[in-house]
A and B are shown apart, each in its own frame.
Chain A
Amino acid sequence: MSRKFTLLFLSLVLTLPLFAGCQKEAEVIKIGLEGPMTGDYAYEGQGFEKAVRLLVDQTNAAGGLLGRQIELVIEDDAGDPAQAALVAQRLVDAEVVAVIGAYNSTATEPASEIYNDAGLFHITPSSTATGLTQKGFQRFFRVCFLDDRQGLFAAKFIDGVLNAKNIGILHDNSTYAQGLADHTKRYAEELGLNVVFYDAINPDDQDFSPILTNIGAAELDAIYFTGYHAQGGLLLKQSGELGLDLTWVMGNASNNPEMVQIAGLANAAGTYITTEPLPKDVDYPEAKKFVADFEAEYAMSPDSVWWMMAAEAFNVIRYAIEQTESTDSQVLAEFLHNEAKNLNGITGPILGWDEKGDRLGTIHVAYIINESGEFIMNPQQP
C-alpha cells in the first residue's frame, strides 16, 4: 500500500514540471540577467536587478513585448568566473532569448563563450575589458564604452582644460580602475604630459596618509583617481585633512553623491569627475522618466552609472525585439550591427555598434563638484 502510494506521489511530482512547462512556454519572453547579487560587487548587481526589474514591470504593465509578457530570469555569479560559467549554463538551459550581464569582465569572459556557443544574444552593461570583443562573437554587444575612450577623454581634459603638465594617476587595483588608469597613462603620454606618479592602493584600504604624503611631495598639477567612490571620498577627505593642495580628477566609478558625504563638503568641492552624462543632463525624455520612476519606486536615485547601463541594455533588447518583431538572436544581432543607429539612450545618444559589438562614439563629459556638493557640468569641456 505505502509503496504504491509513494510511486503515485513520485510520478505526480516528477511530471508536474512538464505540465507547468506546457502552459507558459509559448507566452512569455524570457530575458536573463547575470550579475553579482552577492559578494564584493553585490551593490552593483543588486542595482542591476532594481533597474532592469523596473523596466520589465513597466513593459509588462503596458501589455508586454509583441503581446507577450517578459519574464526576467536572474542569476547570481558573485563576480566569480567559475560561478559565471555555471550560471551562464543555467540561463541557456532556461531558454532565455537574450542575456544582460555580467558585471565584471572576469565573469563576462567565460560566460560570453557559453552564450556564444548557445547562440544567445548577449549585452554586457559594464564589462569594459578590450579582449571581450576581440573574439569575433557576432551576438555579443556592449552598451558601456571601452576603458580607452574614457582614458582618452580624461587625458584630453587634464591636458586641454586643466592645462596640467605633471600629472599623477592612482588606481585601486580593481579590474576596471586599473584598465582605465593604464589607458589614461598611455594617452596622456601621447599628448606630451609627464606622468610623474603612477601607483595603486589596495581595494580594502582605509588609511591613505602614506600614499597621500608621496602624492603631495610629487608636486603634481593634477591627480586622476580611477577607483570607486568609497575610497575616492576617503582620499579627498584625508588629502584635505593633510592640507594638500591638489587638483583631483575622478573617474566614473566615483560618480556617486555618496562620495561628497564621505569626503565632507569642503574637501569635495572643486573636484572634477570624468563620466557619462548624469541622467539629469541627458536631454531625452526617456532618461528623465527613467530616473523619476526609479526614485519613485525605490526611494533612492540610480547612483551607479552601471545601473543606468543595465537599464540601457534592457532598453536596447526591448527596442530590437520591437523593431524586428522577432526573438531570434541572429536577427536581433544583425539589427544592432546594421540598422540600430542614433537611439535616445538613457545614458546619452547611442550612435550604433561597430562590427565587433562595441558601442560607437563617446559621450564622456567632465563634471565639477560645486560649493553645495552638487555635480554640475564643467563649463569647459575638451
Chain B
Amino acid sequence: MENLLTRLRQVNPLRWQLGLIALAVLLPLPLGNYYRSVLWRTGLYIMLGLSLNIIVGYAGLFQLGHAAFYALGAYTAALLNLYLDVPLLLTLPASIIVAALFGYLITRPILHLQGDYLCIVTIAFGEVVRLVLVNNLFGITGGANGLSGIDRPALFGLDWRQPIYHYYLMLIFLVITIFIVQRLEHSRLGRAWMYVREDEVAAEAMGVDTTRVKLLAFVLGSGWAGLVGALYAGKITVISPDMSKFMESVIMFCIVVLGGTGSIPGIFVGTLGMITLPELFRPLKAWRDAWLGFAMVTMMILRPEGLWPSRRVRLEMRGAKEVSLPTPAMDD
C-alpha cells in the first residue's frame, strides 16, 4: 500500500489529474438516471465540503452554520429568477456575492471568538436564517413553503430535465473549485491560514494579519457555498428553509471531519461516507442513520485524523516524525 502510494506520487500529477477528470466525464454514461442524480448530489456535497474545508480545515475555525450560506445562495438565485426573470446561470455571481457578503457581515463582529464560542454563534446564525426564511421575509421568501417553479439552466438548447446535463454542469464547477482550492492551499494566504490554525499568537507575531486571513476564509468559503446553493436550485427547482437546517450543517461538518480536515481527497472520501453510501444503502431504511452514528464513533476512536487526512494533520494528530518522500519526477 505504502509502496503503491509512493509510486503514485512519482507519476506526473497532470497525468492522473486528467485521468480522473476523464473518468468523471465517462462515469455517468453507462448509468441510469437515478445513479446520475446520486453522482450529481455527491459532487454538490464535495463542493460544499471543499468550501467548508477552507474555514474548518485550513483556517481551523469552527463553522456549524454553513448550510445557511448554501440556503442564501439558493434563495438569491431563486428570487432573481422568479421576480426579475434573470436566467439561472446569470444568477450565479449574485449568489456568490450575497453569500460572501453575509459571510463577511456575520463573521466580522465575532471573529475574536474562539472554539466553542464561535461554534455556538455559527449554529445560531444557521437557525436565524432558517427562521427568517420560514417567517416569509418581506413576503417574498414564500414562508415554510419555500419557492417553487425556479427555471432550470438554459444552455445550448439541451433538455435540462435530464440529470446528466446537471451532472456535467456540476462537474465543470467542481473542477474549477478543486483548482482554486488547491492553488489557495499553496498560496501565501493558504500558508497564513495554516499558521493561524496551528498557533494564532505565533502567527500574529510573525506578521500575519490574523483577522484579515480568518475573515477571508469565511468570505471565500461562504461565497462558494452560495454558488452550490444556486446550482441546487437549478436542478431541484424547489427550495425551502429546510436547506438551512442544523442537520444539514452538521452533515457538511462531518464530511470535512470524517474525510480528513484540510485534505482535498479527504473531502471526496467524507462525501462518499456521508452522502453517497447512505443513499446507495437506501433499502436498509432506518439502519442508514444508525450506520452514520456508528461510523462517526468508530472514526473518532480509531482514526481521529480522518480517513484521508492531509499529511500535516495526520502528523500532528499521530505525533510521528515526517517521513521524507522521494521527490516527484518533474517531467518525462
Q: Which residues of A contact B (CB under 8 A)?
A: 37-38, 75-76, 79-82, 85-87, 89-90, 92-93, 105-106, 109-110, 113, 117, 129, 131, 173-175, 178-179, 200, 202-203
Contacts and interface: CB of A to CB of B under 8 A. Distances in A.
Interface string B127-140: 00001001100000
Interface string B298-326: 00000000000000000000000000000
Contacts of A90: 34, 282
Given A173-B135, A178-B145, A93 B240 contact: no
B38 interface: yes
A110 B237 contact: yes
20 contacts: A38-B286, A38-B289, A76-B282, A76-B285, A79-B242, A81-B240, A82-B41, A82-B236, A86-B279, A87-B282, A89-B33, A92-B34, A93-B34, A106-B146, A106-B238, A113-B161, A129-B145, A173-B143, A173-B144, A175-B240
A89, A92, A174 — most chain B CB neighbours (10 Å): A89
A203 to B, nearest CB: 8
Nearest to A37: B285
A186 to B, nearest CB: 14
A174 to B, nearest CB: 5
Contacts of B41: 82, 86
B30 interface: no
B148 A131 contact: yes
Contacts of B238: 81, 106, 109-110
B327 to A, nearest CB: 36
A85 B237 CA distance: 10
A38 B38 CA distance: 19
B32 interface: yes
A93 B145 contact: no
Given A178-B143, A203-B144, 9 more contacts: A87-B282, A89-B32, A89-B37, A106-B148, A131-B148, A173-B143, A175-B144, A178-B145, A202-B134
A106 B145 contact: yes
A179 B144 CA distance: 9
A202 B289 CA distance: 26
Nearest to B145: A175
A18 to B, nearest CB: 16
Contacts, number: 75
Contacts of A109: 148, 237-238
A76 B286 CA distance: 10
The 9 closest A-B pairs by CB, nearest first: A89-B34, A109-B238, A81-B238, A175-B145, A106-B240, A175-B144, A173-B144, A173-B134, A89-B33
B328 interface: no
Nearest to B162: A117
A110 B239 CA distance: 10
Nearest to A107: B238
A105 B289 contact: no
B213 to A, nearest CB: 34
A119 to B, nearest CB: 13
Nearest to A40: B242
Interface string B217-255: 000000000000000100111111010000000000000
Contacts of A82: 41, 232, 236
A3 to B, nearest CB: 20
B149 interface: yes
A131 B163 CA distance: 23
A200 B131 CA distance: 12
A115 to B, nearest CB: 12
Contacts of A76: 282, 285
Contacts of A202: 131, 134
A86 B42 CA distance: 12
Contact of B38 (A86, A106, A178): A86
A93 B36 CA distance: 12
A281 B37 CA distance: 45
A200 B148 CA distance: 22
B127 to A, nearest CB: 10
Contacts of B232: 82
A72 B309 CA distance: 44
A110 B144 contact: no
Contacts of A175: 143-146, 240
Contact of A85 (B32, B146, B236): B236
Contacts of A93: 32-34
B131 A85 contact: no
Nearest to B279: A86
A85 B37 CA distance: 8
Interface in B269-306: 279, 282, 285-286, 289
Most buried by A among B41, B144, B148: B144
Nearest to A81: B238
Contacts of A92: 33-34
A178 B33 contact: no
A76 B281 CA distance: 12
A172 B286 CA distance: 28
